[in-house]
Amino acid sequence: MAEQKDILEEHISSEYKYGFTSDIDTETAPPGLNEDIVRFISAKKNEPDWMLEYRLKAFRHWKTMEEPRYWAHLKYPEINFQNIIYYAAPKKKKELKSLDEVDPELLATFEKLGISLEEQKRLSGVQSTIAIDAVIDSVSVKTTFKEVLAEKGIIFCSFSEAVQEHPELVKKYMGSVVPYTDNFYATLNAAVFSDGSFCYIPKGVRCPMELSTYFRINTSGTGQFERTLIIADEGAYVSYLEGCTAPMRDENQLHAAVVEIVSHKNAEVKYSTVQNWYPGDKNGKGGIYNFVTKRGICLEENSKISWTQVETGSAITWKYPSVILKGDNSVGEFYSVAVTNNYQQADTGTKMTHIGKNTRSTIVSKGISAGQSNNSYRGLVRINKGAKNARNFSQCDSLLMSDKCGAHTFPYIEIKDKTAVVEHEATTSKIGEDQIFYCKQRGIDTEKAIGLIVNGYCKEVFNQLPMEFAVEAQKLLAVSLEGSVG
Amino acid sequence: MLSIKNLRAGIEGKEIIKGFNLEVKAGEVHAIMGPNGSGKSTLSNVLAGREDYVVTSGEVLFKEKNILEMSPEDRAREGLFLAFQYPIEIPGVSNINFLKTAINEIRAYKGLPPMEAKDFLKMVKEKQALVELQGSLANRSVNEGFSGGEKKRNEIFQMAMLEPTLAILDETDSGLDIDALRIVANGVNKLRSPQRSFIVITHYQRLLDYIVPDYVHVMYEGKIVKSGGKELALELEEKGYDWIKKEAVEA
């Protein structure tokens, strides 16, 4: 109870509590995009030629592409890609040896975000620690617990470091799930991506702690283009968390990330996101355009990939975490809660592509729309010929909190094999005055009643999140929907 | 305990309660009967503070406080409980979580700390037995997938947990078979005490065989037209409401 009260107070004092900016000494590229900028980024990172070539190939391809504007259920002004700064990095004075050498303002920033970059001692008992890769604007500033993980052969580092230290792995897997030609934003990312996280779990290793990347946009006028690559080798297991926030600004900032996951034989990757980019103000001014490509491949038999996302932030969200079920008996899951309030727009969902035999996928999507917002679920279930006995279950629920918001469901189903079993359920409901009155009659006020009802509605998804994240997600939901019933 | 004077109230511009008077003392059980459309359910909604209903005049004092100026949740926290005619489902919210939230909200209102988990669970066990509710039911989502009888028993279970000073039972007997009726009535009887009062709204005398009232009132066209002891219920069962309507018209 006390905790819930705090949430409310926090919310009253500031609408988006991560909206501060930090005065960090930053080095930026001039705005605009051309080959020189691509070369500039690559040079800044001291990249090998093959990496620069990859970027240039992507950039040249990008120039031939058109921004996809019409198929998603989204409305926004044209983006001028020449006005964006493609590289911004906190200035490094020298090679960092320890945390003591990191800019204190930067440490304070993460402190304020509730992210500790100190490697605390393991807490006793069941609670596990989390290893964090902290990315601010274009670069990773610190990765924790690297040494502890290295003992087990786990590689967890920034993408830039992986390019330097593990080129054979990066070359082998980068672009293998999301090729640089994939789509407009993925191609743009391939050309200008600045950093992100890299993670490799070797054969038979169960990662002993949650791995996490925390993304923070700080500098005005910048776009964030990070890239994450996760590889679970045969029989490996990893649970990966992603969090993100940005300052409150009047401008719209672009975030175009790529996440690739490769799951080998008998391996499992669980990827959880709590997305809390700045959503813009009450009148729809400012906020992040979150145009993200996330895809995983279950490469061999008995592999599993599970996406769980709680989307509360961003002015516009455009993302479809997907799974390619190539290996026989592989499993793909997608659990999503997407909340839109005020003038936010979301077009999100998943793609499950069944190629292997006896592959199974589950989709549970919970949309919540409030204010004047629009929330769309878009999902594709494709069962290829030869994917014998493939199964999919999809459940898409929408909850409306006001009379002015919209909820839309666009399920696409393509079945090329007769043995497939595909189930789809969809519901739309308005939050009940009856439910709220019932709670009030038991002594529970409106605010708390909405919290209870909405959390109940999202329970199936929250159950998939790691404990600490589930608590954060519930808090976020309460804050995002405060005062939204009408 | 409860004093209603000259209450006039309605919904969407239509007056339904037309000069209603009632005095309920601590420990008393009052039954309100009456034909369909006489305003019984409106009365319970108005007392509980449902926003759609508008009170145009009169006063309602509950423990000497004017509750018409209170929010529905504050009325509940003051000890007013309504057992719903149609209990609402809240998917994904466990009965236990729901009740724990409610109890702690009520305690916070009274300046008390949250209840200890151990005490809470003990109380759940004890009160479940009162209405012969299965343990598993308490862990299921509030009313979701409950049968009609389970929903009504759950209302009484919630009442037992929240320990109100005034409980209004809005047609709790409707839709119950004879066994469920007996269980519900037994539960209510065990909760009767010199400090707790009940208003039992019902169509039928049947419930009053089990929950024996101190007073029976007949409501017709928005007010009480006849009051008496428990024998009045029997008379109504035998003769129907027509003679009451006739009397009311003549008066």
Distance from CA of B37 to the nearest CA of A (A): 21
Q: What are residue A366's DSSP bridge partners?
A: A337, A397
Confidence class for position A4, pLDDT limits 50, 70, 90 = very low
Q: Is B116 exposed, middle or buried (0-12, 13-18, 19+ CB in 10 A)?
A: exposed
- Mean pLDDT for the stretch of residues A28-56: 90
Selecting from B72, B89, B99 the residue whose C-beta is nearest the C-beta of A440 gives B72
User: Is there a contact between A434 and A242 (Cβ–Cβ < 8 Å)?
Assistant: no
Token reading at A331: 């499993």
DSSP H or E segment with residue B68: none
Give one DSSP letter per residue of B195-248, joined into a string.
Answer: TBEEEEE-S-SHHHHHS--SEEEEEETTEEEEEE-THHHHHHHHH-SHHHHHHH
Residue B25 has pLDDT above 80, yes or no: yes
Confidence class for position A7, pLDDT limits 50, 70, 90 = very low
A438 contact residues in B (CB cutoff 8 A): 84, 87-88, 90
Q: Which residues of B touch A (CB under 8 A)?
A: 48-51, 71-73, 76-77, 81-82, 84, 87-93, 97-99, 101-106, 108-109, 114, 141, 158, 162
Distance from CA of B93 to the nearest CA of A (A): 5
Confidence class for position A158, pLDDT limits 50, 70, 90 = confident
CA distance linking residue A225 with residue A213, whole number of Å: 14
Which structural domain, as residue segments, surrounds residue B230? Answer: 2-250
- Mean pLDDT for the stretch of residues B123-135: 85
- Angle A126-A129-A133 from CA coordinates, rounded to 5°: 160
Q: Which of B88, B96, B168 to mutate to test the interface with A (most CBs of A within 10 A)?
A: B88
Exposure pattern of A426-460 as b/e (b: 16+ CB <10 Å)?
Answer: eeeeebeeebbbbbbbbbbbbbbbbbbbbbbbbbb
Least confident residue range of A122-131, A297-306, A412-421, B124-133: A122-131
DSSP H or E segment with residue A254: strand A252-255
Percent helix, strand and coil across chain B, each rounded to 5?
A: 40, 30, 30
- Mean pLDDT for the stretch of residues B205-220: 92
Distance from CA of B83 to the nearest CA of A (A): 9
Number of folded domains in chain B? 1
A3 contact residues in B (CB cutoff 8 A): none
Say if strands A331-340 and A304-311 run parallel, antiparallel, or are unpaired.
parallel
Residue A101 has pLDDT above 60, yes or no: no
Using only the alpha carbons of chain A, give its radius of gyration: 22
CA distance linking residue A178 with residue A269, whole number of Å: 17
Residue A218 has pLDDT above 90, yes or no: no
Any CB–CB contact under 8 A between A440 and chain B? yes
Residue A11 has pLDDT above 70, yes or no: no
Token reading at A326: 């190539």
User: Is there a contact between A274 and A245 (Cβ–Cβ < 8 Å)?
Assistant: no
Q: Residue type at A57?
A: K
| pLDDT value, residue A47 | 93
Least confident residue range of A104-108, B35-39, B183-187, B202-206: A104-108
Give one DSSP letter per residue of A149-205, joined into a string.
Answer: HHTTT-EEEEHHHHHHH-HHHHHHHTTSSS-TTS-HHHHHHHHH--B-EEEEE-TT-
Confidence class for position A12, pLDDT limits 50, 70, 90 = very low
CA A221 to chain centre: 21
DSSP H or E segment with residue A299: none
CA distance linking residue A215 with residue A243, whole number of Å: 6
| pLDDT value, residue A9 | 38
Backbone dihedral angles phi then psi of residue A70, each to the nearest 5 degrees: -110, -20
Q: Residue type at B81?
A: F
Token reading at B164: 């109100």
pLDDT 10s digits, A112-156:
666 566 554 333 333 345 677 777 665 666 677 777 888 899 999
| pLDDT value, residue A343 | 83
Backbone dihedral angles phi then psi of residue A240, each to the nearest 5 degrees: -120, 135
Distance from CA of A483 to the nearest CA of B (A): 17
Token reading at A299: 């490469």
Q: Is A48 exposed, middle or buried (0-12, 13-18, 19+ CB in 10 A)?
A: middle
CATH number for position B185: 3.40.50.300
Q: Residue type at B85?
A: Q
Confidence class for position A326, pLDDT limits 50, 70, 90 = very high
A335: three-class secondary structure by DSSP:
strand
CA distance linking residue B156 with residue B146, whole number of Å: 14
CA distance linking residue A212 with residue A133, whole number of Å: 6
Token reading at B168: 């209004």
User: Is there a contact between A353 and A382 (Cβ–Cβ < 8 Å)?
Assistant: yes
Strand ranges inside A312-390, DSSP E:
316-319, 322-325, 331-340, 345-354, 360-369, 374-383
Length of chain A: 486
Termini Cα distance of chain B = 30
Token reading at B153: 């028993």
- Share the mean pLDDT of chain A: 82
CA distance linking residue A65 with residue A323, whole number of Å: 25
Q: What are residue A322's DSSP bridge partners?
A: A295
User: Is there a contact between B153 and B160 (Cβ–Cβ < 8 Å)?
Assistant: no
CA distance linking residue A275 with residue A217, whole number of Å: 13
- Mean pLDDT for the stretch of residues B191-200: 95
A448 contact residues in B (CB cutoff 8 A): 101, 105
Any CB–CB contact under 8 A between A399 and chain B? no
pLDDT 10s digits, B67-102:
999 999 999 999 999 999 999 999 889 999 999 999
pLDDT 10s digits, A182-211:
999 999 999 999 888 899 999 999 998 888
pLDDT 10s digits, A408-447:
889 999 999 999 999 998 888 877 788 999 999 999 998 8
Q: What ipTM was reported for this prediction?
A: 0.95
| pLDDT value, residue A287 | 80
pLDDT 10s digits, A54-99:
999 999 999 999 888 777 777 878 888 888 888 877 665 444 555 5
Token reading at A320: 């479809």
How are strands ordered across the β-sheet holding B65-66?
B14-24, B2-11, B53-62, B65-66
**Residue B63, CA distances (Å) to A76, A480, B49, B197 in order:** 57, 39, 16, 12
**Residue B111, CA distances (Å) to A448, B46, B121 in order:** 18, 27, 21
Share of chain A above pLDDT 70, in %: 80
Backbone dihedral angles phi then psi of residue B25, each to the nearest 5 degrees: -95, 160
B26 conformational bin, left if phi > 0, alpha if psi -120 to 50, beta if neither: beta
Token reading at A448: 């708390």
| pLDDT value, residue A20 | 65
CB B92 to CB A460 under 8 A?
yes
A456 contact residues in B (CB cutoff 8 A): 90-93, 141
Tally Cβ neighbours within 10 Å of residue A102.
Answer: 17
CA distance linking residue B158 with residue B152, whole number of Å: 10
CB B71 to CB A445 under 8 A?
yes
CA distance linking residue A68 with residue A153, whole number of Å: 41
CA distance linking residue A395 with residue A164, whole number of Å: 43
pLDDT 10s digits, A360-408:
999 999 998 888 888 889 999 999 999 999 999 999 999 888 888 888 8
CB A442 to CB B92 under 8 A?
no
Q: Is B166 exposed, middle or buried (0-12, 13-18, 19+ CB in 10 A)?
A: buried
CA distance linking residue A334 with residue A307, whole number of Å: 5
CA distance linking residue B180 with residue B149, whole number of Å: 6
Token reading at B218: 């007949």
A459 contact residues in B (CB cutoff 8 A): 92
B92 to chain A: nearest residue by CA? Answer: A456
Q: Which of B41, B82, B90 to mutate to test the interface with A (most CBs of A within 10 A)?
A: B90
B82 contact residues in A (CB cutoff 8 A): 441
| pLDDT value, residue A149 | 86
- Mean pLDDT for the stretch of residues A453-474: 81
Helices of type H across A307-375: none
A437 contact residues in B (CB cutoff 8 A): 50-51, 72, 88
Distance from CA of A8 to the nearest CA of B (A): 15
- Mean pLDDT for the stretch of residues B191-198: 95
CA distance linking residue A130 with residue A122, whole number of Å: 9
CA distance linking residue A259 with residue A251, whole number of Å: 25
- Angle A469-A314-A289 from CA coordinates, rounded to 5°: 135
| pLDDT value, residue A196 | 85
| pLDDT value, residue B16 | 95
